[in-house]
């Protein structure tokens, strides 16, 4: 199957006028077309050259999207800009996995963090995460999955707390790997989970058995079929 | 000025086919057209009657939208459904107020809660909220504003922590009232703040002085002009 960015971006980019110049600056793990400061500088340079610049991103620019840094570069040069909010990955993954992030009976709060590892360890504020009636969403949660699940248990969450890894959320190749904090890392490894993926932890994950509705197309869907 | 729901909903509802039956089930504080269980039952009844039903909501259905409860009613009757994710109020308010919810230098996490009062007090898990480098977004944050700001300070946040109330986020009548945890409640009262409004608390609020870009139209905009 084609890489997800190919599928998801092209249809959107095709909406631009035919004579628009298209510059790919996307990021994939360990394969960034441009570093963040190069993206910032490029936008400034093009805008100062009189171009009308659209910076297209997946998700929401102000939730782990580094939109703040990008427009800060513009503001510093007196360049006018607008920001269009988007469907953040947590919302997309939740809807397409059938997992409400909040629910009157199970979760009165949700917290979003990133799972990036620094020196091999997840730098998370564990005390704020291991609270009752709260859903945890970890963006970029694949590479740190084992460390994150272990850390949550070590700091007080039950090992039986339901957890789901949503791979390629909302795309035709979406796959949801379910388990709990004890089982999910080994299940995900066995199934070859890889980025992009979002980790959702909390009692709301149980609702998926009733509320899951999206049937992805393609080969990978076979792994996601429910009995 | 017209009520926000009138402005925001009509343009969207007008996208439906002309012969579609339109039923208003919206909610405003203390003025719900239908109770939640009546909405659930109505969807079930119409679907079982063979109608194709669109339940249109503001924001995202799975983030304080009670979408989980609604589709649970459908699933219990074996009614097929799809869920379309949306721009949750926190993302809309953040973009239009110029306040990134995460930022490499200021906030590595964001947490969403509701500010509804129960018996006159905010029932919040204060320990999870008063953490460093975390942005707090309180949905429905007006009526409990004073109690919430006081509670955050009582449980450890500095009284000088920046805070902003975003009223009618993303609408032409948007107004942003800025202050800190000590000053915001009295400033908001003095300026007559009312629902719908979202409270954003954290260092990222300071970025608005550089990154705020949206200039609302209409009378209320005068209160939001920056020097």
pLDDT confidence tier of residue B221, bands split at 50, 70 and 90: very low
- As a whole number, the mean pLDDT across chain B is 90
SS3 of residue B179 by DSSP? strand
Map out the domains of chain B with their CATH numbers. 4-76 (no CATH), 89-224 (3.30.950.10)
- At A118 the pLDDT is 72
A67-76 and A36-48 helices, crossing angle to 10°: 40
| pLDDT for the residue A76 | 97
Q: Do B72 and A131 touch (CB under 8 A)?
A: no
Q: B103: which DSSP letter?
A: B
pLDDT digits (tens, 9 = 90+) for B61-116: 999 999 999 999 999 999 999 999 999 999 999 999 999 999 999 999 999 999 98
Across the strands, what pairs with B122? B117
Position A190 scores a pLDDT of 97
Mean pLDDT of B8-28: 85
pLDDT tens digits, B126-140: 999 999 999 999 999
Which residue out of A77, A86, A112 would a mutagenesis test of the B interface target, given it has the greatest number of B Cβ atoms within 10 Å? A112
**Listed residue (B165, B154, B163) closest to B194, CA to CA:** B165
Is it the case that residue B40 has pLDDT exceeding 90? yes
Q: CA-nearest residue of chain A to B113?
A: A109
Q: What is the pLDDT of residue B100?
A: 98
Q: pLDDT averaged over consecutive 10-residue blocks of chain A (227 residues)?
A: 49 90 79 86 97 94 96 97 97 98 95 83 88 96 94 97 97 95 98 96 98 79 45
The pLDDT, as a whole number, for residue B78 is 97
Query: B109–A112: do the CB atoms touch at under 8 Å?
Result: yes
Reported ipTM? 0.91
Please determine, for residue B2, whether its predicted confidence score (pLDDT) is greater than 60.
Answer: no
Strands A197-201 vs A162-167: parallel, antiparallel or unpaired: antiparallel
Nearest to B83 among A81, A95, A132 (CB): A95
């Amino acid at each position: 199957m084609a890489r997800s960015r190919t599928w998801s971006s092209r249809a959107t980019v095709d909406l631009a006028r035919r004579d628009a110049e298209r510059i790919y600056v996307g990021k994939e793990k360990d394969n960034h077309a441009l570093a963040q400061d190069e993206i910032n500088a490029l936008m400034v340079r093009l805008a100062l050259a009189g171009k009308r610049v659209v910076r297209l991103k997946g998700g929401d620019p102000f939730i782990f999207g580094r939109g703040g840094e990008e427009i800060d570069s513009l503001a510093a040069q007196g360049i006018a800009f607008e920001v269009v909010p988007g469907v953040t990955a947590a919302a997309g993954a939740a809807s397409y996995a059938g997992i409400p992030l909040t629910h009157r009976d199970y979760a009165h709060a949700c917290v979003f963090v990133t799972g990036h590892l620094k020196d091999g360890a997840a730098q998370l504020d564990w005390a704020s995460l291991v609270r009752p009636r709260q859903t945890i969403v970890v963006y970029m949660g694949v590479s740190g999955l084992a460390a994150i699940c272990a850390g949550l248990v070590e700091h007080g969450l039950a090992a039986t707390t339901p957890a789901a890894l949503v791979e390629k959320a909302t795309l035709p190749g979406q796959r949801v790997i379910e388990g709990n904090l004890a089982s999910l890392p080994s299940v995900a490894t066995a199934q070859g989970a890889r980025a992009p993926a979002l980790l959702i932890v909390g009692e709301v994950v149980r609702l998926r058995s009733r509320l899951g509705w999206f049937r992805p197309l393609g080969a990978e869907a076979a792994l996601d079929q429910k009995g």
